[in-house]
Amino acid sequence: MPRFVILDFVRFFLAVLVAMMHFDGFGAPHKAYLAVDFFFILSGFVLSAAYERKASSENFYRSFIIDRVARLYPLHVLILLLLIPVNLLFYWTSHGQLLENGWSYQDGRIYTLLLNLLLLQNIGLNTAGSWNAPSWSISVEMFVNVFLGLLLIPMARRRIVWPSLLALSTICYMIIFGQFGNLGVIYERAFGFLNAGLLRGFAGISLGVISYQIWQWLQANSACLPLAKTMAVGSAIASLLIMLVFTDISNGDLAIIPLMFIFVTSTAIVEKQAPVRDGRIRSLLIELGALSYGVYLFHWLILTIMRYQLVYVWKMPINFNSPVSLLSFLVVVVAAAAFIHHKFELPMKELVKKWLA
């Protein structure tokens, strides 16, 4: 499959925005939660591009699930296990206080630990965040991938699936906006039983598959390139304005979904017909894109240590409203993500695939 290096870099950039939002200090982009919906759309696109041709092979579904577990699970469980001693250290040094008590872990620490270990922490079995909070979307991603793997099989046989996916995505978004009015929902339940995070996952990944099918039809049409470039730039600017500047705009969350869809589709067309040819720039984009998963998951562990251990218990004077503090935090997060990617993510991915095979 072609490498979509610009889309990979955008995933890294948005993961950094999520980290800045959770830092909740200088320059915090309060609508960076919309990045997760982009991740879902991009995931549907990239996984379709990577696996559609393989989906007609024997034992495809089993190998697909193994690949997804090997990709998503090792880093998730590493950070989960690292958070256990962080919880214990805070308990001991704060004279019996519990980490994040009162707004998280409302379903119980042992129970939510088990859910996290099984990647079931956001399918409707709990009512609040716990442990590594951003990993809720990893639970959704894995659950929706079970559905996506089955969907890729008829796609490989050249069956048209986008009308059904468009209906599914539309219904999911209609429920979200009808029940909640925005996309800033995770554990909430529509009609009392439909998990909001799962609805976002099914809706976004379905749109990503549709984006891939459109890209298939248009990728070789050179007449599309000028329009694709314009649409990619325009949708990117509009999306960033909604996320970073006009955060109070009415129905902004609803408007950004088609913009993200247009951006992924048009950027993929540009990357196919006019790829980044400078070797150094391309390598940099690939490297940063590869760090996006580490940035997204690892920043919460660092923030937890900073806010609870360093500031609350040890009284270190960290000013979260300082640009220097924010920059220092991001440097640590990206450096840690780079180290973990090369020393843990890549080797563990191959090791887990061997174990499960």
How many CB atoms lie under 10 A from the CB of residue 148? 24
Nearest 5°: the CA angle 137, 143, 146 is 140
Question: For 330-344, what is each residue's pLDDT tens digit?
Answer: 999 999 999 999 999
> Which pLDDT band holds residue 75 (cuts at 50, 70, 90)?
very high
Burial (CB count <10 Å: 0-12, 13-18, 19+), residue 51? buried
The predicted pLDDT at position 56 comes to: 83
Please report, rounded to a whole number, the percentage of residues in the chain having pLDDT higher than 70. 99
Tell me the two tokens of residue 20: 């800045």
| Cβ(2)–Cβ(49) below 8 Å | yes
Averaged pLDDT for residues 166-190: 94
| Cβ(118)–Cβ(111) below 8 Å | no
Question: For 206-216, what is each residue's pLDDT tens digit?
Answer: 999 999 999 98
| Cβ(260)–Cβ(43) below 8 Å | no
Question: For 254-308, what is each residue's pLDDT tens digit?
Answer: 999 999 999 999 999 999 998 888 889 999 999 999 999 999 999 999 999 999 9
Question: For 48-67, what is each residue's pLDDT tens digit?
Answer: 999 988 888 888 999 999 99
Averaged pLDDT for residues 10-38: 93
Query: Residues of 65-89 as b/e, b for ≥16 C-beta within 10 angstroms?
Result: ebbbbbbbbbbbbbbbeebeebbee
The predicted pLDDT at position 159 comes to: 72
The predicted pLDDT at position 266 comes to: 96
The predicted pLDDT at position 1 comes to: 63
Q: What are phi and psi of 190, to 5 degrees?
A: -75, 135
The predicted pLDDT at position 161 comes to: 77
The predicted pLDDT at position 99 comes to: 87
| Cβ(302)–Cβ(332) below 8 Å | yes
The predicted pLDDT at position 221 comes to: 84
Task: Please say if the pLDDT value at position 37 is more than 70.
Answer: yes
Averaged pLDDT for residues 42-53: 92
> Which pLDDT band holds residue 252 (cuts at 50, 70, 90)?
confident
Please report, rounded to a whole number, the percentage of residues in the chain having pLDDT higher than 90. 76
Averaged pLDDT for residues 9-29: 94
Average pLDDT, the chain: 92
Averaged pLDDT for residues 7-13: 95
The predicted pLDDT at position 223 comes to: 85
SS (H, E, C) the chain: CCCCHHHHHHHHHHHHHHHHHHHCCCCCCCCCCHHHHHHHHHHHHHHHHHHCHHHHCCCHHHHHHHHHHHHHHHHHHHHHHHHHHHHHHHHHHCCCCCCCECCECCCCHHHHHHHHHCCCCCCCCCCCCCCCHHHHHHHHHHHHHHHHHHHHHHHHCCCCCHHHHHHHHHHHHHHHHHHCCCCCCCCCEECCCEEHHHHHHHHHHHHHHHHHHHHHHHCCCHHHHHHHHHHHHHHHHHHHHHHHHCCCCCCHHHHHHHHHHHHHHHHHHHHHHCCCCCHHHHHHHHHHHHCHHHHHHHHHHHHHHHHHHHHHHCCCCCCCCCHHHHHHHHHHHHHHHHHHHHHHHHHHHHHHHHHHC
Question: For 111-140, what is each residue's pLDDT tens digit?
Answer: 999 999 999 999 989 988 889 999 999 999
> Which pLDDT band holds residue 157 (cuts at 50, 70, 90)?
confident
